[in-house]
Amino acid sequence: MKKPLYVTKSFLPPLNEYTELLKDIWKSGVLTNDGKYLKLFEKKLRKNSGCKYALCVSNGTLALQLALRSLKINGEVITTPFSFIATASSIIWEHCKPVFADIEPDTFNIDPFKIQRKISSKTKAIMAVHVYGNPCNISEIQKIANEYNLKVIYDASHALGINYKNKSLFYFGDISTTSFHATKIINTAEGGALFTNNNNIANEIRLKRNFGYENYVIRSLGVNAKMSELNAALGIAEMKYLSVNLTKRKKVFLLYKKLLLSNEFIKYQKFNAEQNYSYFPVLFSTKSLKEKVVNKLNKEHIFPREYFSPSLELVFGSKITCPVTYDISQRILCLPLSFHITVSQVKRVCNIVNKVSGV
C-alpha cells in the first residue's frame, strides 16, 4: 500500500534549530505573557510586512474575533461565502450578523459591486478574504468603506509573502489578520496575528488579547488569546526558511500547470499578484467530474480537499443568494501541494486527473 498523500503536510524546521530555542526558554522559565520570543517573532513580522504593528495570538479565528472587538463592531458584517467556516463563525461569536455577498467568477474573491448591494443601515464592517492569497479589489472595497463609513478587516490567512502594489497584503484595511495554523506556509502549530498601522487599534488588540488586563487593572472585556513562547519560537525557526519554502512551492505549482496543460476540463483562478503557491486549486467543468476525480484519487490513497465547500451561506441558512459561490463551491478542488511533495507524486496525481477527465 502506498503511503497516503494529503492535500498538505506541515513544514517543520530542522529539529536541532528549534530545540536550541527551547533550551533558552527552559533556562529562562518564561513560557508566555509577552516573552522574549513573542517580541522577536512580532518584530520579524513587522519587518516582513512593513506594518507598524504585528500582534500575535493563539490562533487565526481569535485574530478575526479580536479584530471585530477592537474595532467595536456590533451590527452586520458583509463577508464572502467562499471561505473557511472561521471567517463567518468569528462574526457570529462576536454577536454580529454575517451578510454574504457573492464572489467574482474569475478571482474567487468577494465582488465589490455585490458588497454595495448588501449594505444596509445596520452594516458596520466589511470582512473580505484574500482567497488562496489572491488580493481582493482593495481600492474598490476601500472606496465603498469610505463612502459608507465602514471598517475593513481582511482575512489574509493565505497571504504570507504576497505583495500587492509594492506593499504586503497585510498592510491594507483597518486590520488584516493571518493564521499560523499547521497547514500554513509558515506555522506555529497553532497561532495567528493581527496587523495594523493604527496605534489606537494596536493598543486595543494588545489589551483585549490579555483578558483586558493591564498593570493589574481590568480596563476592558478581554480574552486569553496570547501566543506562548513555544509557539513563537517555532515561528522564528520557520521564518528563516520562508524564501526556500516559496521557491519549492512555485516549482511544484508550475509542474502541476505543465502536466495539466492539455486538460480542457479544468480552469484556474485569475490571480492579481505574484503568488505564494500555498494552494493549487482547480475548477472542474462539472461537479460530477470533480467527484469522479476525488473518488479515484481516494482509491489511490490521495486526499485532495474541497476548499471551499459548501458555500457558507448554506452552512448558516438554506437560501441561495450567491449563485456564483454556490456553483464554484460545487466544482472546486485543491490538489496536494506542500514543501515535501515529490515530482513523482505530482505526476501521479496529474495522471489520474487527466485519465479520469478523458484527456
CATH number of domain containing 67: 3.40.640.10
- 86 and 213 assigned to the same domain: yes
- 129 and 193 assigned to the same domain: yes
Within a domain: 171? yes
- 118 and 161 assigned to the same domain: yes
Within a domain: 335? yes
Within a domain: 8? no
- 171 and 275 assigned to the same domain: no
Within a domain: 316? yes
What stretch of H or E contains 123?
strand 123-129
pLDDT beneath 50: ranges in the chain: none
Q: What pLDDT, on the 0 to 100 scale, is given for residue 318? A: 82
- 246 and 231 assigned to the same domain: no
- 284 and 212 assigned to the same domain: no
DSSP 107: T
Q: What pLDDT, on the 0 to 100 scale, is given for residue 135? A: 98
User: Cα–Cα distance between 181 and 192 in angstroms, integer?
Assistant: 7
Q: What pLDDT, on the 0 to 100 scale, is given for residue 2? A: 79
pLDDT digits (tens, 9 = 90+) for 305-344: 999 999 999 999 888 999 999 999 999 999 999 999 999 9
CA distances from 274 to 43, 151, 157, 230, 246 (A): 24, 27, 16, 32, 11
- 106 and 161 assigned to the same domain: yes
Instruction: Determine the structural domain holding residue 78 and report its residue range.
Output: 15-239
CA angle 325–328–333, rounded 5-degree value:
130
- Which stretches within the chain are classed as H helix? 15-28, 36-49, 60-70, 85-93, 112-118, 138-148, 199-208, 229-239, 242-259, 287-299, 312-315, 323-331, 343-357
Measured from the Cβ of residue 288, the count of other Cβ atoms closer than 10 Å reads: 11
Q: What pLDDT, on the 0 to 100 scale, is given for residue 133? A: 97
Q: Is 155 helix (H, G, I), strand (E, B) or coil?
A: strand
Closest by CA to 190, choosing from 177, 176, 202, 179, is 179
- 220 and 286 assigned to the same domain: no
- 58 and 23 assigned to the same domain: yes
pTM: 0.97
User: What residues are paired with 127 via a beta bridge?
Assistant: 79, 153
Q: Are 247 and 53 in contact (CB under 8 A)?
A: no
Q: What pLDDT, on the 0 to 100 scale, is given for residue 284? A: 98
- Cell numbers found for residue 283: 475548477
- 93 and 154 assigned to the same domain: yes
User: Cα–Cα distance between 172 and 152 in angstroms, integer?
Assistant: 9
Q: Is 281 helix (H, G, I), strand (E, B) or coil?
A: strand
Residues 6+ apart with CB under 8 A from 222: 207, 208, 209, 210, 211, 212, 213
Within a domain: 119? yes
User: Cα–Cα distance between 337 and 208 in angstroms, integer?
Assistant: 36
Within a domain: 147? yes
Cα pseudo-dihedral 260, 262, 265, 270, rounded to 10 = 60
Q: Are 55 and 180 in contact (CB under 8 A)?
A: no
SS (H, E, C) 33-97: CCCHHHHHHHHHHHHHHCCCEEEEECCHHHHHHHHHHHCCCCCEEEECCCCCHHHHHHHHHCCCE
**Domain-ending residue, one of 185, 211, 239:** 239
- 175 and 256 assigned to the same domain: no
User: Cα–Cα distance between 74 and 68 in angstroms, integer?
Assistant: 8
Q: What pLDDT, on the 0 to 100 scale, is given for residue 1? A: 65
Within a domain: 4? no
Domain count, the chain: 2
Closest by CA to 78, choosing from 27, 112, 43, 44, is 112
- 324 and 278 assigned to the same domain: yes
**Domain-ending residue, one of 189, 206, 239:** 239
pLDDT digits (tens, 9 = 90+) for 260-292: 999 999 999 999 999 999 999 999 999 999 999
